[in-house]
Amino acid sequence: MVDLQIEREVHEIIRAVERLTGIELPREILKVVYNPKLDVLLIRFRKAEKCKVGEPVYPGVILYRDDEDAIIGLEIVGYRDIIRNLLRM
């Protein structure tokens, strides 16, 4: 489930994570899922057969890569708190 506010923020979130980490993220988004009970946002850029273990790039921000090291997903744990900080940068 993705609420309208998050849907509008997705590209802004991606740009903020890029500024923070210096890592260029894909622009094509396959799926966005938000779990309000856990306050976790997952942005999936593409499907992959296998995924390496997530790589923390900032507290609460985790990148996922496939076996060829391509970025396939971005997860934000504690989304509401982290997003306030990211979007202020």
* Segments making up each domain of the chain, as ranges: 4-88
pLDDT over 90, % of the chain: 53
Summarize pLDDT for 14-53 with one digit per residue, the tens. Answer: 998 998 889 999 999 999 999 999 999 999 999 887 777 8
Sheet with 61-65, edge to edge strand ranges? 31-35, 40-44, 71-77, 61-65, 55-58
pLDDT of residue 1 exceeding 70 = no
Report the candidate in 78, 39, 38, 73 with the shortest Cα–Cα distance to residue 53.
73
pLDDT given at position 83: 77
Q: Could you tell me the CA-to-CA distances from 15 to 6, 53, 57 in Å, in that order?
A: 14, 23, 14
- C-alpha 88/C-alpha 53 separation (Å) is 29
